[in-house]
């Protein structure tokens, strides 16, 4: 682990620790939702981090097609891997919160649906990657799919919004809550960046090792 990563890891622990202290111990229960709203402070930053991760996959894919530099493919694939975990967590926390506030775990609400489709999109992306042997064509083909997949996301949102929507457009938060949400978002971004850089370094080492050992 190098210095940059160690600083990142410490920052994640400190930031998340402070946020958790505020979310779980300082904030008072609110009307109607009671204590259940505390999961929101994990759910929203989680979902936003997932969307950011897939945006990085898109940028990595475009840059790979432009320059054919293998490091961009590493960024794209590592970001998709992290993104899919964040998406799964966002779906789970979302479903729990949704059951408390809307009365059912699953509602086909546009944002819920879009997040689920994102999950499937990048699960497909990763299975395509695992099915192509040749490294160069794997990077190129999955970059194309990375671009295709991302383009469908806004359309998924708008096409399901025709049916109906339950998500609040704006959320009434007091200043303390807003600060905590922002702090939580920052800590999720740092966590994301930490895992991303770590995973990219791992991929690079793996490739160098393969080269040295003659493919074994």
Partner 1 sequence: MGFSLKSITIAKKDLVVEFRSKQTLNFMFLFSLLVLMLFSFTMGYSGAIEDVGAGLLWLIFIFTGISGMSRSFIREEERGTLDGIKLSPMGMSSLLLGKILYNFVLIFILQCIIFPLFIVLLNYPVRGDLLSAFFILTLGNIGFVIVCSALSVLVLNARARELLLPVILLPIVFPLLSAATSALKGILSGLPLSGVWDEIVIISIYIVIFFTIGILTFDYSIEG
Contact 200, 8 (CB under 8 A): no
Residue whose CB is less far from partner 1, 71 or 140:
140
Rounded Cα distance, 136 and 199, in Å: 19
Q: CB within 8 A of 15, min separation 6: which ones?
A: 183, 186, 187, 190
75 or 150: CB nearest partner 1: 150
Residues forming the site for partner 1 (CB under 8 A) = 65, 117, 120-121, 123-125, 127-128, 131-134, 136-137, 140-141, 143-145, 147-149, 151-152, 155-156, 158-160, 162-163
Q: Is 92 exposed, middle or buried (0-12, 13-18, 19+ CB in 10 A)?
A: middle
CA 128, chain centre distance (Å):
19
**Least Å distance between CB 181 and partner 1?**
29
Beta carbon nearer to partner 1, 92 or 123: 123
Query: Nearest distance from residue 129's CB to partner 1, in Å?
Result: 9
For the bound state, the minimum distance from the C-beta of residue 154 to partner 1, rounded and expressed in Å, comes to: 9
Q: Toward partner 1, which CB reaches closer, 17 or 124?
A: 124
């Amino acid at each position: 682990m190098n210095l940059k990563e160690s600083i990142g890891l410490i920052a994640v622990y400190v930031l998340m620790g402070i946020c958790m202290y505020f979310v779980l111990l300082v904030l008072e229960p609110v009307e109607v939702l009671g204590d259940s709203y505390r999961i929101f402070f994990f759910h929203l930053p989680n979902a936003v981090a997932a969307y950011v991760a897939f945006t990085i996959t898109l940028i990595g894919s475009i840059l790979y097609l432009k320059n054919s530099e293998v490091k961009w493919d590493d960024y794209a694939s590592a970001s998709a891997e992290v993104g899919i975990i964040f998406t799964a967590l966002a779906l789970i926390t979302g479903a729990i919160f949704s059951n408390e506030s809307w009365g059912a775990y699953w509602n086909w609400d546009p944002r819920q649906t879009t997040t689920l489709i994102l999950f499937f999109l990048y699960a497909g992306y990763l299975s395509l990657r695992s099915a192509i042997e040749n490294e160069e064509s794997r990077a190129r083909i999955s970059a194309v799919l990375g671009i295709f997949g991302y383009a469908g996301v806004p359309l998924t949102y708008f096409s399901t919004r025709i049916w109906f929507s339950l998500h609040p457009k704006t959320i009434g938060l007091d200043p303390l809550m807003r600060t905590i949400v922002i702090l939580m978002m920052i800590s999720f971004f740092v966590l994301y960046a930490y895992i991303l850089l770590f995973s990219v370094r791992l991929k690079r080492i793996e490739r160098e090792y393969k080269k040295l050992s003659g493919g074994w």
